[in-house]
């Protein structure tokens, strides 16, 4: 078997890169460890920057997003029981789109199937070979048979726990990490969202977030202990806890109902440098993780895909190595700014078990400054809607 580009992983970054390359006549093979149903069952991101929306348009998969997605012009924040609003449109002229990662992935999977391009699900023992040479290969097992695929390039789109980053010799890669001392307990429920906009809450009992997937499906999160057990959280316990972290208006309007998904996610900041190793490129969560507070993870995956797609097109159409050589530095420049914003939002809105009375006062002062300063609100808005590619 042969392909020009082998893409490891069929999450949003692998599927988006695959679709864009296929449209340019570049031959790709996607190998994914899980089944399509498993990939679609992971409830994750909900907010798309305009840059990510444009990428989906370019890939020809944006029709349902435009029909069903919700355009948000701002966000609300609750602190000390008082609600404040940051207007994205007023400060930046831009908006964000609330459209779930599950739907993005489904639209991309449907496009892959319609295009007839190759994708292999439930591939076992995916192994990367010789990416330091001009002739890399990827091998895997499927239905008891071993396959070996020769290619020009490997795109490692296989997430934080994937094989691509692990395949790089440890002395060739440097990693930077911060693990936060809490997690997010999330639920999805077919209830009317408590507000038309997202609400980020800093409460003495911890952070909370009111998000949504549609006007009839809500997504809520609570800051929880890192070792919190989902089984200990009945729906009733979740709703009661969320109600106590909201302002009186939110508590009054909160509609409750059975959860259709409930999970605990750890919070981590992580960056691997560089993102290119000969003919292997790391893309999306395989190279970097942000805590979800700034809604940046999927959006960073989209900007990585932008840079790598442009680089591969330059290589195949113009015989230029410039894009490939510049990929890692270009991607990392944007990544570190999104890492900073996500780390800052996390620090601003969570209660840290180890924080001193002085640090608590500093957090309060920073929030007070944000609510009273147009410049501070403009900075939040500029980062939230997404820095330029």
CB-nearer residue toward ligand RFL: 347 or 355? 347
161 a catalytic residue: no
Lay out the site mask for ligand RFL across 261-290 (x = CB under 6 A, - = otherwise): ----x------------------xx-----
> Does a cis peptide bond (omega within 30 degrees of 0) precede residue 194?
no
In this structure, are strands 174-189 and 217-224 parallel, antiparallel, or unpaired?
antiparallel
Binding mask 141-180 for ligand RFL (x = CB under 6 A): ----------------xxx-xxx-----------------
Whether 12 and 46 have beta carbons less than 8 Å apart is answered as: no
Find which of ligand PHB, ligand RFL, none residue 293 binds, CB within 5 to 8 Å per kind.
Answer: ligand PHB
User: Tokens in use for 18?
Assistant: 């695959």
Residue number with CB closer to ligand PHB (45 or 52): 45
Angstrom distance (rounded) from CA 288 to CA 285: 5
Count of residues that interact with ligand RFL, criterion CB under 6 A: 37
Among 13, 195, 211, 218, binds ligand PHB (CB under 6 A): 211
Q: Among the candidate windows 38-46, 167-175, 247-255, 374-382, which touches ligand RFL by CB under 6 A? A: 38-46
> Which two structure tokens, joined as six digits, stand for 131?
């990416």
Tell me whether residue 389 is one of the annotated catalytic residues. Answer: no
* Residue 188 near ligand RFL by CB under 6 A: no
- Total residues at the site for ligand PHB (CB under 6 A)? 10
10 binds ligand RFL (CB under 6 A): yes
Residue 293 binds ligand PHB (CB under 6 A): yes
292 is a catalytic site residue: yes
Sheet of strand 137-142, all strands in order from the earlier edge strand to the far edge = 124-129, 137-142, 145-150
- Residue 350: active-site member: no
Quick check: 101 binds ligand RFL (CB under 6 A)?
yes
What are the structure tokens assigned to 270, written together? 């992580």
Q: Does 13 bind ligand RFL (CB under 6 A)?
A: yes
Give yes or no for residue 219 binding ligand PHB (CB under 6 A).
yes
Residues 349 and 207 sit within 8 Å (Cβ to Cβ) = yes
Q: Is residue 295 a contact point for ligand PHB (CB under 6 A)?
A: yes
CA distance 326 to 265: 33
Minimum CB–partner distance for residue 386 and ligand PHB (Å): 13
- Letters for 13-52 (x = contact with ligand PHB by CB under 6 A, - = none) are --------------------------------xxx-----
Q: Of the two residues 226 and 365, which places its CB atom closer to ligand RFL in the complex? A: 226
317 is catalytic: no
Catalytic: which of 200, 221, 316, 327?
Answer: 200
**Which residues contact ligand RFL (rule: CB under 6 A)?**
8-14, 31-34, 39, 44-47, 101, 123, 126, 157-159, 161-163, 184, 186, 265, 284-285, 292, 295-299, 301
**Which residues contact ligand PHB (rule: CB under 6 A)?**
45-47, 198, 209, 211, 219, 292-293, 295
Residues assigned a catalytic role: 72, 200, 292, 296, 384
């Amino acid at each position: 078997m042969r392909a020009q580009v082998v893409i490891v992983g069929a999450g949003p970054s692998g599927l988006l890169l695959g679709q864009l390359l296929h449209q340019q006549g570049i031959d790709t093979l996607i190998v994914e460890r899980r089944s399509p149903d498993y990939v679609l069952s992971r409830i994750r991101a909900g907010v798309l920057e305009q840059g990510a929306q444009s990428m989906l348009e370019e890939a020809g998969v944006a029709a349902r997003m435009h029909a069903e997605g919700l355009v948000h012009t701002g966000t609300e924040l609750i602190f000390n029981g008082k609600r404040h609003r940051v207007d994205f449109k007023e400060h930046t002229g831009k908006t964000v789109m609330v459209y779930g990662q599950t739907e993005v992935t489904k639209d991309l999977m449907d496009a892959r199937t319609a295009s007839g391009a190759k994708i292999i699900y439930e591939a076992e023992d995916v192994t990367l070979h010789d990416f330091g040479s001009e002739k890399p290969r990827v091998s895997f097992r499927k239905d008891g048979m071993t396959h070996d695929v020769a290619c020009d390039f490997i795109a490692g789109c296989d997430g934080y726990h994937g094989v691509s980053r692990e395949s790089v010799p440890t002395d060739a890669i440097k990693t930077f990490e911060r693990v936060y001392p809490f997690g997010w307990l999330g639920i999805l429920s077919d209830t009317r969202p408590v507000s038309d906009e997202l609400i980020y809450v800093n409460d003495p009992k911890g952070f909370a977030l009111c998000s949504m997937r549609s006007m009839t499906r809500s997504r809520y999160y609570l800051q929880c202990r890192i070792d919190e057990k989902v089984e200990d959280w009945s729906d009733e316990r979740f709703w009661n806890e969320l109600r106590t972290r909201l302002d009186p208006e939110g508590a009054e309007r909160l509609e409750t109902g059975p959860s259709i998904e409930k999970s605990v996610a750890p919070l981590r900041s992580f960056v691997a440098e560089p993102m290119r190793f000969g003919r292997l490129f790391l893309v999306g969560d395989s190279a970097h993780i942000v805590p979800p507070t700034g809604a940046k993870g999927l959006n960073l995956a989209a900007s990585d895909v932008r840079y790598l797609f442009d680089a591969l097109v330059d290589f195949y159409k113009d015989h230029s190595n410039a894009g490939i050589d510049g990929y890692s530095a270009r991607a990392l420049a944007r990544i570190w700014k999104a890492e900073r914003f996500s780390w800052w939002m996390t620090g601003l809105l969570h209660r840290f078990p180890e924080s001193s009375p002085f640090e608590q006062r500093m957090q309060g002062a920073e929030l007070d400054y944000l609510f009273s300063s147009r410049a501070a609100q403009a900075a939040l808005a500029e980062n939230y809607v997404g820095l330029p590619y």
